Structure 1
């Protein structure tokens, strides 16, 4: 089930603000940038880079995913391991505040999201 319009209205500005704050300077964005996508009840944050074998094409490399559990009213936090699967982020597997997830992304104390 997808986000409700009211949910998107509340949460998308928080994610968009984080991306705007963390994006690299404009002159290096062709080489590395940040973005996000909303899929169903998840928000996926990723880096954008040129493909090594086709530099004119871009690839998106997922860094973090947060999924809204409407019934529990809780965000579940995930990171993508080398096996390319999403795994629960054990230091903070869930939170009731999207802002807490943003804080964890910024600090990345276990180097799970940004390496």
Structure 2
């Protein structure tokens, strides 16, 4: 089941605040930026940049994915490994809120999200 309209608005508010803190300065955004998407019950963040050998092509590299599990009322946090599959983030596989997810992502203790 998808998020309610109230939950979607809350996610938008939280993610916009996160983007304010994490986005690079405006003069750099044509070379490096971040975008986020809400799909169903999952929030994903992507790094966006032009290809090194063809600046006309833009690539999106996943940073993290967090999925809300309604049954538990918690968020599951995932990161994408070199095998291009999503894996649970073992130090903190589930968190109580999206704000908690973003704190873990920003701290990035094991360099899984921003390297």
User: With structure 1 as the length reference, what TM-score do the two structures score?
Assistant: 0.94
Q: Specify the alignment match of 1:59 in structure 2.
A: 59
User: With structure 2 as the length reference, what TM-score do the two structures score?
Assistant: 0.94
- TM-superposed deviation, 1:105: 1.1
* Structure 2 residue matching 1:68: 3-state secondary structure: strand
- TM-superposed deviation, 1:16: 1.4
CA distance in 2, matches of 1:105, 1:77: 9
Q: Specify the alignment match of 2:38 in structure 1.
A: 38
- TM-superposed deviation, 1:6: 1.0
- TM-superposed deviation, 1:35: 1.0
Q: How many residues align?
A: 115
Q: Specify the alignment match of 2:69 in structure 1.
A: 69
CA distance in 1, matches of 2:6, 2:44: 19
CA distance in 2, matches of 1:96, 1:62: 22
Equivalent residue runs for 1:1-115 within 5 Å: 1-115=1-115
- TM-superposed deviation, 1:21: 1.2
What residue ranges of structure 1 are gaps of 5+ in the alignment? Answer: none
What residue ranges of structure 2 are gaps of 5+ in the alignment? Answer: none
* Structure 2 residue matching 1:113: 3-state secondary structure: coil
